[in-house]
Amino acid sequence: MIVIGDSALKKIYMADVCMKILYGTTNNAKLKAMRKALEFLDINIIGLNDIEGEIPKVNECGKTPLENAEIKAKAYYKAFKIPVFSCDSGLYFDELKDEEQPGIFVRRVNGRELSDDEMIYYYSSLARRYGGKITGQYRNAIYFVLDESHCYSSMDKSIATEPFILSAVPHPKRVDGFPLDSLSIDIASGQYYYNLDLKDVSTSVDDGVRAFFKEVLSKK
pLDDT at 10 over 60: no
Per the rule left: phi > 0, alpha: psi between -120 and 50, beta: everything else, 171 is: beta
The answer as to whether 95 is a domain residue is yes
Q: Enter the pTM of the model.
A: 0.80
User: Each residue of 82-132: pLDDT tens digit?
Assistant: 999 999 999 999 999 999 999 999 999 988 999 999 999 999 999 999 999
User: Each residue of 119-176: pLDDT tens digit?
Assistant: 999 999 999 999 999 999 999 999 999 999 999 999 999 999 999 999 999 999 999 9
CATH number at residue 198: 3.90.950.10
User: Each residue of 28-71: pLDDT tens digit?
Assistant: 989 999 999 999 898 999 999 999 889 999 999 999 999 999 99
The answer as to whether 61 is a domain residue is yes
The answer as to whether 111 is a domain residue is yes
Q: Using DSSP, how many helices (H) and how many strands (E) does the chain show?
A: 5, 9
What gap in Å lies between CA 69 and CA 170, rounded to an integer?
Answer: 29
The answer as to whether 37 is a domain residue is yes
Which is higher by pLDDT, 82 or 13?
Answer: 82
Residue span of the structural domain in which 170 resides: 6-216
The answer as to whether 1 is a domain residue is no
Q: Would you state the torsion angle of the CA atoms of residues 76, 59, 123, 27, taken in this order, to the nearest 10 degrees?
A: 20
The answer as to whether 206 is a domain residue is yes
Q: pLDDT value at position 82? A: 95
Q: Look at the chain and report how many structural domains it folds into.
A: 1
* Mean predicted confidence (pLDDT) in 184-192: 96
pLDDT at 198 over 80: no
Which is higher by pLDDT, 155 or 218?
Answer: 155
